[in-house]
Amino acid sequence: MKTIRNAVKAATLRTEHYWGCGWRQHRYRLASLDPGPARAVKEGIAWLSRAQDCSPSKDGGVAASVNASGVWASSYPETTGYIVPTMLTYAKIYHDAVARERARKMLDWLLSIQMPNGAFQGGRVGVLAAVPVVFNTGQILIGLARGVEEFGETYRAPMSRAADWLVRVQDPDGAWRRYTSPLVVAGAKAYDTHVGWGLIAAERQSPGRGYAEAALANAEWALSRQRSNGWFDDCCLSDATRPLTHCVGYALRGVIEICRFYPHRSDLLEACRRTADALISALRDNGMLPGRLDCGWRPAVGWVCLTGSAQIAACWMLLHQETGDRRYWEAARLVNSFVRKTLCTGGPTHFRGAVMGAFPFNAEYGRYEYLNWACKFMIDANIRELALLREG
């Protein structure tokens, strides 16, 4: 019996070493080995599924986060909206009918909380007063548009109401200055180009209603806030002098998606490359991308915003596809590997496959929490990596 116990203990220690020195230590120490993109995608989808099931609001939405004590937060409409395409993409690639139905359940919940004017609230349900917010509506619009594509007409009218509201409340210069989230510093934001992506997605499903034009107007406004070195002014939730890579990732992805819809606009692609190239200059050899950067793209903190890292990796891969520049591919794979080495693939199910807000766990962003949007962007980046590897 003692021999068996010793063998089990030795196997456990080997497993913990392989996946990052134990499930608790993974919060502060990188794993020595990378679990790989396929494992990361599988574990991430399983965690998002648990987050949907474990949301204390029990509404079909995805819990915003789980903290270090295993306590789940209520559902988050904004991030549930853009988790929908992640689940549907996974379902299509892996022929997973359960994941597809989970996405439909998320969409049906979102329809139940849409405001009469077409907008959606900011923040988590049951936490703040439900007030319309541009950014959150734009993110949910991405999911609604994918819902139209996958499931049909049920989601077309809600999609159009959300997109129409965004067009109505947009300022003449393309910015959105009204209906900002009560959780961020007021004022127009360069990262609202990610709202523009939502409008592009709606345009693809219902063309000719002015959605793409509104998205392009916002991209042009955002580029008026871009400096010659690729830096965006007004591009952070709280500190525009040291923006989170999460916000830079939003801004960059939005412009990329608008550029893909307007391929003749070479100025949009050039603007994307300025920012993408500058981000490569901030990348360290081990794949660490500092979580906040100053206007010279110098590290402003010593920790990593894992959400932003995953977003930027996906942007680099898209730009690699658009330009053939291998630097983007190499940078993306390096960052993806770093993020994967922070994953917990053992231990309690609340944490298995989850992505921390920041690494290490006690850093400023999403402190002591695993965030559903961090997991979503990690999955997206690794699905894209797998697709490019298959293409050779």
Residues 6+ apart with CB under 8 A from 71: none
DSSP of 94-159: HT-HHHHHHHHHHHHHHHHH--TTS--BSSSTTTS---B-HHHHHHHHHHHHHHHHHH-GGGHHHH
In 175-294, the DSSP E strands lie at none
Nearest to 113 by CA among 65, 156, 80: 80
How many CB atoms within 10 Å of residue 383? 22
Nearest to 173 by CA among 213, 218, 204, 141: 218
CATH 1.20.120.80 holds for 76-224: no
The crossing angle, in degrees rounded to 10, of helices 245-261 and 193-205 is 30
Which two tokens mark 172?
């003449």
Which two tokens mark 391?
């293409």
Cα–Cα distances in Å, from 26 out to 56, 357, 360? 26, 13, 9
Question: What φ, ψ does residue 66 adopt, rounded to 5°?
Answer: -135, 140
Residues 6+ apart with CB under 8 A from 285: 334
Domain boundaries of the chain, sorted by first residue: 1-74+280-392, 76-224
Place of tokens 């819809």: 261
3-state secondary structure at position 358: strand
How many CB atoms within 10 Å of residue 106? 27
Q: pLDDT tens across 210-231, in order?
A: 999 999 999 999 999 999 999 9
How many CB atoms within 10 Å of residue 173? 12
pLDDT of residue 127: 83
Spatial distance between the Cα atoms of 135 and 212, rounded to a whole number of angstroms: 16
Q: Are 200 and 141 in contact (CB under 8 A)?
A: no
- For the chain, residues with pLDDT lower than 70 are 1-23
Cα–Cα distances in Å, from 29 out to 17, 306, 338, 340, 341? 11, 14, 11, 12, 9
User: Which residues is 196 bridged to in the sheet?
Assistant: none
pLDDT of residue 18: 37
